[in-house]
Chain A
Amino acid sequence: AQRVTQPEKLLSVFKGAPVELKCNYSYSGSPELFWYVQYSRQRLQLLLRHISRESIKGFTADLNKGETSFHLKKPFAQEEDSAMYYCALSPRGGADGLTFGKGTHLIIQP
């Protein structure tokens, strides 16, 4: 069975500082990995997925198959980045239901 681990429940950084939210996964095949974000009082929304290799809102994430990691990074945090971030895995490119990590609450201090 697949599993997604986000070791940090809470991460607090100052505005302008770099941010890294950690995500590790376990799955025997080649899954697709996602980062979802939930801003206060809003629904969950896709931030980025590893196959698209995009940078969204300044965030990037690289899939490291050797370390089974998919850490989310941003070089300069902004206050509007404060939110809950969930790493998620899908065995079949998103066509299956997602397995989520427990989430990291990111707080950007002014």
Chain B
Amino acid sequence: GAVVSQHPSRVICKSGTSVKIECRSLDFQATTMFWYRQFPKQSLMLMATSNEGSKATYEQGVEKDKFLINHASLTLSTLTVTSAHPEDSSFYICSVISGTSGHEQFFGPGTRLTVL
């Protein structure tokens, strides 16, 4: 299966600052990556689909100007939370699709964001 890493694993920032989270596919080239968020004791919610070389597709209710996604290479997608507020505190998880595994999604370990 695919190996997916995220960096950082946890970040604490002040309200109003921006935070960048990286998602890397370590052992294969991923044209499509997904970003999810998970609030405490709740399920994962799909935020957006990140496509290499093109604009991300956002789910309804997700602000594209708030959550900037860049998928500049086949192994890296970044999520930038702009002007973060305490309500953005969450667990952000990325996944990649492996076409060779019948479109199985492989998940990163997640990034815990805490906005003070």
Contact = CB atoms under 8 A, between A and B. Distances in A.
A97 B49 contact: yes
Interface stretch (B17-25, B64-72, B105-113): B105-113
Contact of B43 (A51, A94, A103): A103
A100 B97 contact: no
A44 B43 contact: no
Nearest to A99: B46
Interface in A84-99: 86, 90, 93-99
What size tier do the contact residues of chain B reach? Answer: 20 to 34
A94 B105 contact: yes
A43 B103 contact: no
B100 interface: no
Contacts of B105: 46, 94, 98
A45 B43 contact: no
A43 B108 contact: yes
Given A95-B97, A95-B103, A100 B108 contact: no
A99 B36 CA distance: 10
Max chain B CB contacts within 10 Å: which of A49, A90, A97? A97
A86 B104 contact: no
B97 A86 contact: no
